[in-house]
Structure 1
Amino acid sequence: MSIQRALLSVSDKSGLEEFAKGLASMGVEILSSGGTHKFLSSKGIPVKEVSEHTGFPELFDGRVKTLHPKIHGGLLQRRDLEEHQQQAKKHSIPPIDLVVVNLYPFEETVAKEGVTLEDAIENIDIGGPSMLRSAAKNYQAVTVVTDPADYPTVLAEMKERNGDTTLSTRERLALKVFQRTAAYDSAIARFLNKEQETAKSFSVSLPLYSELRNGDNPHQGASLYGNFGDYFVKLHGKELSYTNVLDIESAAAIALEFRRPTVAILKHTNPCGVGCADEDLREAWEKAFETDKQAPFGGVIVINRPMNMALAKVIGEIHTDVIIAPDYESDARAHLQKKKNLRLMQMLPGVEDALRQPVIKSAPGGLMVMDSDSKALGLDAIESKVKTERPPTKEEIEAMRFAWRVVKHVKSNAIVFASHDRTLGIGAGQMSRVDSCRIAIWKAKEAGLSLEGSAVGSDAFFPFPDGLISCAEAGATCAIQPGGSVKDPEVIAAANAHKMAMVFTGYRHFKH
């Protein structure tokens, strides 16, 4: 059965003119209202006001336009049931065969800084989702479009099939509608629930962004959902894998901890080395790379400044899986693209806000939702939280701040030795904190780096003095840790015995 009548009501008017002209050329009657009617009329496209079709005016500043039996009856009536057709004839409800609706931009509205509750409420679409759901429920007879990307497919099928679309296309488009309305309602619920300490229910509906190359291992499938492409763009290289995406997230989070030019190298989401410089990215790279010259093989490199040719040449000498930068100078990009398997990623503005979104993890039978670990420690906080007889020097404070910024991104139990602008030794993921200390000390020794005068950061408290003592004996003169152990007095005594300065932050940075 060919499409005779269509209802068009959209916020996003991209591609609408060409699509509507295509419908009109095939003799389709077009119904519309409000801004869409005005737009189509201005383009010279024949269009009938919804109020003229229903015989009922728009009410309440346009809040009620399409919520009418003549609209929903036209969408929901079954063409194959004689009883439905008799009722439609009795009440003068002609069928509507095509619905083209995209919704008020609620998500975009609430993402704006300073959005008011009134603005948010006015951007909750009522008529649009109602029409979409009615049309999608009756997809056996009605074609429903909510994405302008589907306009060409619908027009092409109508031209090939004497004004009709295929059942498979209608079914696919109906599924897309229910996915979209579910995501829309979830966004509204999340916004209205933001003042609550804990949501009583949690729903998430995200569009497929891409199939991933593989999961943790080649025999595991994986997919990425949501708007990842709003924050990262792949400029070159193989498809992303599940582990690549995890590494990219971790790398960006580390790079954005620092305002100075910074380079970080990661492997399996753990930093192998982090370095800062005043201006020269290559200097920052050398500091990061010198922390561990073996681990970066097949790893991830991130910088918080545009990639230049000087750094690209150096990085190009080692095997790297992913490079991330906010931009690339043209010659640097061309040089790195000579490696066909290297993934070049561009980090876009706004990623810092995206990284502050809640963390979602699967659990048997459900999901866990956690606030992001975005707590920062200011200079005043360090100076006011000294627990030892000796206060830290200015240089030690800067070194402790650096260590604390990095250690939050290392898998627990985590230990980081650092100066004011570089890591010197990193111990990650050990079941015993003292073992993480020993590994960090050993890594520094293997790299030929001195720990004399360094700061040590611990993501959680030292449960016993042994870990701190090993750090002091290796050369650390100051330590930053959360505190909170029943053995704190013994740990403080050990720090005093080794003439260390030590700060208790009062909060930890576990990472699992």
Structure 2
Amino acid sequence: MKKQALISVSDKTGITDFAKGLAEQDYDIISTGGTLRTIQEAGIEATAVEDVTGFPEMLEGRVKTLHPVIHAGLLAKRDDGTHKQQLSDKGITPIDVVVVNLYPFKQTLDQQNVTEEEIIENIDIGGPTMLRAAAKSFRDVTPVVDPDDYDEILQAIQNDELDTAMRKNLAAKVFRHTAQYDALIAGYFTDEAFPENYTVTYEKVQSLRYGENPHQEAAFYKKPIESPMSLTSAKQRHGKELSYNNIQDANAALGIIADYDRPAAVAVKHMNPCGIGMAEDLNTAFSKAYNGDPVSIFGGIVACNRTIDVDTAKQLSGIFLEIIIAPAFTDEAFMILTNKKNIRLLELKMDEAKINSHKLTSVNGGILVQDNDNKEISRNNLTFPTEKKPTEAELDDLLFAWKAVKHVKSNAIVLANDMQTIGIGAGQMNRVGAARIALEQAGDKAKGAALASDAFFPMPDTAKEAAKAGVAAIIQPGGSKRDQDSIDMCDQYGVVMVFTGARHFKH
């Protein structure tokens, strides 16, 4: 009995060559709709599915392959005598190869001005059903979902090397493919932020040389639907492949720079900002970021939210940096920076909406899911509990520091002056310890500066340390049982304190 292949594809890439190869290996080909026409127009003999089933395609193509003749031919166990007899009794020929790719649901979602009706019509029903049936029967049936596999499969058939192990690997790919397809559909229909089943799916971007350390394997994945301000959308203009740690740090830099509308630059080291500057032009903004901590920036990552110009490029080129991210580079700036062989230059649009997707964190045996910390604080949200109130300039610096502190690992303290970070204390086990690190880094620059704390002061010690160093104003969430002690300490030293009513823990 000749073998039989069923081909029904939305993406016609390479299908005529594959069908021709199967025909040359003595396979009978059955097909549907546009795929059938494509194959026949290439001069390859093929039979319509409806001629096999005796049942016409109907409901605008919604029903084509959902028929017992097709699915019995896929699901029958070839080594089961009862199954073989039942096929024989019904005159059903087993199907040996199934080649299917699905209606372009993801591509339809990506289109602008697409209607819900168009989206729903691009939900494939028969395709996943055939693929899953073929994959379930991998011991006898070869399931094919990826055009990139055509050549390898055809070669294996020609060399009589298409074995169970290969078919099992193809089956695994099918189930991954249909699982992602269903996850995208479920995501489209789901309005709840945190449904009872949280299904996510990602596509591989690249294998990485290693993870955080050379003994850890790693890979980089992206969401199937493009996300704003994502490294997966960046264009690498220069430099070697990104590493695991590069990606982590670059992602942190993007999260920070997304918060600033005016020209800004941020330098990141180990996922913490080491310098942030904002000004009327990028060159000045970067100068501020650099001078905020000229030591820690060495070997770091810089993100800018404006085109890198010549003057900024000259500053950048004088520092050892791993990565520079910007919306664009002028030609002259690009030439200056590409003289540094090991630097990576990434272009990424930064006029997208704020980063607003969920944050997923893996834990042993599960994941934690939360909204990203996008809470905006404006002057209208603030309360002023101290006798002394902030000036407009102090208020600007307080809000600048408050934006920065949410990106620093807790416990976190940020000192700022004139839209420039001058001291950052990150990831300490107590708040006063973080404050001492930030104050020591700032040195004499702490006089007249603004201090931001990511969470409330449980004791007045942090306020006292800041006041003694000359800090002029403090912004913090408030809400401690001992808030009054910190307020009194500020009043004693003539320091402004401002409450936001919201905290910015980052673990």
TM-score by length of 1: 0.87
1:150 is the counterpart of 2:149: yes
**What's the C-alpha RMSD, in Å, of the aligned pairs?**
3.1
Q: 1:320 aligns to what?
A: 321
Shift of 1:45: 6.1
Conserved? CA contact 1:231–1:351, under 8 Å = no
Deviations 1:296-347 (A, max 9, x none): 1221111122333433333232222222223334444454344444333333
Shift of 1:413: 0.9
Q: 2:457 aligns to what?
A: 462
Deviations 1:423-478 (A, max 9, x none): 12111111121121121111112xxx623332221111122222123223333322
2:205 partner SS: strand
1:435 is the counterpart of 2:437: no
Conserved? CA contact 1:264–1:271, under 8 Å = yes
Conserved? CA contact 2:2–2:26, under 8 Å = no
Shift of 1:31: 3.4
Q: 1:217 aligns to what?
A: 213
Shift of 1:80: 4.3
Shift of 1:2: 8.0
State which of 375, 382, 393 in structure 1 corresponds to 2:391.
Answer: 393
State which of 162, 168, 183 in structure 1 corresponds to 2:180.
Answer: 183
Q: 2:285 aligns to what?
A: 284
CA distance in 2, matches of 1:147, 1:309: 46
1:8 partner SS: strand
Task: Specify the code of the residue in structure 2 equivalent to 1:305.
Answer: R
Task: Specify the code of the residue in structure 1 equivalent to 2:268.
Answer: L
CA 308–35 in structure 1, closer or farther in 2 if over 3 Å, else same? farther
Shift of 1:122: 4.2
Gaps in structure 1 of 5+ consecutive residues:
none
Q: 2:406 aligns to what?
A: 408
2:143 partner SS: strand
2:377 partner SS: coil
CA 331–352 in structure 1, closer or farther in 2 if over 3 Å, else same? same
Conserved? CA contact 1:9–1:32, under 8 Å = no
Shift of 1:93: 1.9
Conserved? CA contact 1:154–1:165, under 8 Å = yes
Deviations 1:338-383 (A, max 9, x none): 4444333333569766x4222222223322212211112234334x
CA 45–480 in structure 1, closer or farther in 2 if over 3 Å, else same? farther
1:173 is the counterpart of 2:170: yes
Deviations 1:105-148 (A, max 9, x none): 44455567888766655443321211111111222332222223
Conserved? CA contact 2:432–2:461, under 8 Å = yes
Query: Residues 55-454 of structure 1: matches in 2 within 5 Å?
Result: 55-109=54-108, 121-158=120-157, 160-161=158-159, 165=162, 167-195=164-192, 198-227=194-223, 230-279=232-281, 281-347=282-348, 355-382=355-382, 385-445=383-443, 450-454=445-449
CA 468–274 in structure 1, closer or farther in 2 if over 3 Å, else same? same
CA distance in 2, matches of 1:306, 1:37: 51
Shift of 1:72: 1.4
2:435 partner SS: helix
CA distance in 1, matches of 2:2, 2:378: 67
Shift of 1:88: 2.1
Larger mean Cα displacement after TM superposition, 167-176 or 364-373 = 167-176
Conserved? CA contact 1:8–1:100, under 8 Å = yes
- Percent identical pairs in the alignment equals 44
Larger mean Cα displacement after TM superposition, 406-415 or 235-244 = 235-244
Q: 1:473 aligns to what?
A: 468
Conserved? CA contact 1:7–1:96, under 8 Å = no
Task: Specify the code of the residue in structure 2 equivalent to 1:274.
Answer: I
1:450 partner SS: helix
CA 375–166 in structure 1, closer or farther in 2 if over 3 Å, else same? same
Deviations 1:186-207 (A, max 9, x none): 3334444442x64323344434
Conserved? CA contact 2:2–2:27, under 8 Å = no
CA distance in 1, matches of 2:144, 2:61: 22
Deviations 1:372-428 (A, max 9, x none): 11112234334xx33333443322222122111111100111111123522121111
Task: Name the count of aligned residue pairs.
Answer: 501
Conserved? CA contact 2:222–2:232, under 8 Å = no
CA distance in 1, matches of 2:405, 2:341: 33
Conserved? CA contact 1:179–1:205, under 8 Å = no
CA distance in 1, matches of 2:485, 2:356: 36
Shift of 1:283: 1.7
CA 478–17 in structure 1, closer or farther in 2 if over 3 Å, else same? farther
CA distance in 2, matches of 1:70, 1:350: 54
Shift of 1:253: 0.5
CA distance in 1, matches of 2:339, 2:156: 42
Conserved? CA contact 2:258–2:350, under 8 Å = no
Shift of 1:486: 0.7
CA 86–261 in structure 1, closer or farther in 2 if over 3 Å, else same? same
Shift of 1:166: 5.2
